Amino acid sequence: MDLRIILAITCGVIFVLVVIIVPPSVLLSPRTSQFRSTFRKKCQAFSETPQRCDDLLSLFEDAYVGLDSCDFPLDAYDQLFTKNPFTHSCGKTMFWSKTKGLVHEFTKKRDHFITLEDTLLGYIMNDQTWCGKKGSKETYTYLCDKCIINPETSFWRKASAEFADYACGDASVMLDRRTQEPFDPTSYFGAIEVKRLVHPRVVNLKVILVTRDNNLNCNRESLQLLQNMLDPNITYSCTPVSESRIRYCIERGLTTEACWS
């Protein structure tokens, strides 16, 4: 065989091995600087001073850095939320389940409805992945152990509980009628938030049921389950709204109750 062909084949094999072998080692390396940069950038979008964001980052890292992801304390983020309580109007609370993209388009201006991801901590951590490693001072953003309770799930469980506890007056939730069952009792809304809505702090819960244009109704078995789980003293209502109607409202800035009333 020609020497050039042999060399080409050899180089090709080495290249394939490098492609196969290198990514895992890269993924296992910490991404502390990148994570901190993203954290600060998103924090400063809330008009926080650089010093405020550094303090917040330090308090956040204290909760998980150096800890095993699969032996993670449930109260790890208690101090973070105690020192950084919600400040938005509690009557603007909007929950969601299976409508993440649409509901955040709708609440983007934060001038009428507020989701958890529109608050400071929720906004910063939305779509982020993070964990620590036992004995390490670094933050890892890849190949984090997906245990039932890990740094991410613990944060969102705590955030969801605090967000629901903060709600008052009229609360809303945007659910998806286009799925087989719009209410999922195992979701963050179903497993955590609904159970923490208590009368008289919360008076009403309005379900905004996103539907297809030709299927405008609230008759689903899972919605009956939602009513059964809800504090009986809280008034329940459900309004079906087509996705096209919601997108029409978003395009024209009509992100208030007028969109479905």
Q: How many domains does the chain have?
A: 1
Q: Is residue 10 part of a domain?
A: no
Task: Determine the Cα–Cα distance for residues 111 and 123; give it in Å rounded to an integer.
Answer: 15
Q: Is residue 16 part of a domain?
A: no
Tell me the C-alpha to C-alpha distance, in Å, between residue 234 and each of 46, 86, 166, 188: 33, 23, 16, 20
Q: Is residue 184 part of a domain?
A: yes
pLDDT at position 257, please?
A: 92
Q: Is residue 12 part of a domain?
A: no
Average pLDDT per run of 10 along the chain, which is 261 residues long?
44 42 51 95 83 93 95 94 95 97 94 95 97 94 89 97 98 90 96 98 97 79 96 97 94 93 82
Q: Is residue 259 part of a domain?
A: no
Order the strands of the 169-176 sheet from edge to edge.
94-97, 169-176, 202-211, 235-242
pLDDT at position 9, please?
A: 43
pLDDT at position 25, please?
A: 46
Q: Is residue 24 part of a domain?
A: no
Residue 94 CA, distance from chain mean position: 13
Tell me the C-alpha to C-alpha distance, in Å, between residue 135 and each of 31, 73, 145: 16, 16, 16
pLDDT at position 214, please?
A: 64
Task: Determine the Cα–Cα distance for residues 34 and 68; give it in Å rounded to an integer.
Answer: 21
The greatest distance separating any two alpha carbons of the chain, rounded to the nearest whole angstrom, comes to 85
pLDDT at position 178, please?
A: 78
Q: Cβ of 171: how many Cβ atoms within 10 Å?
A: 23
Q: Is residue 25 part of a domain?
A: no
Residue 85 is part of which domain span? 30-254
* pTM for the model: 0.87
Contact 116, 160 (CB under 8 A): yes
pLDDT at position 183, please?
A: 96
**CATH of residue 62:** 3.40.50.720
Contact 212, 242 (CB under 8 A): yes
pLDDT at position 54, please?
A: 93
Q: Is residue 193 part of a domain?
A: yes
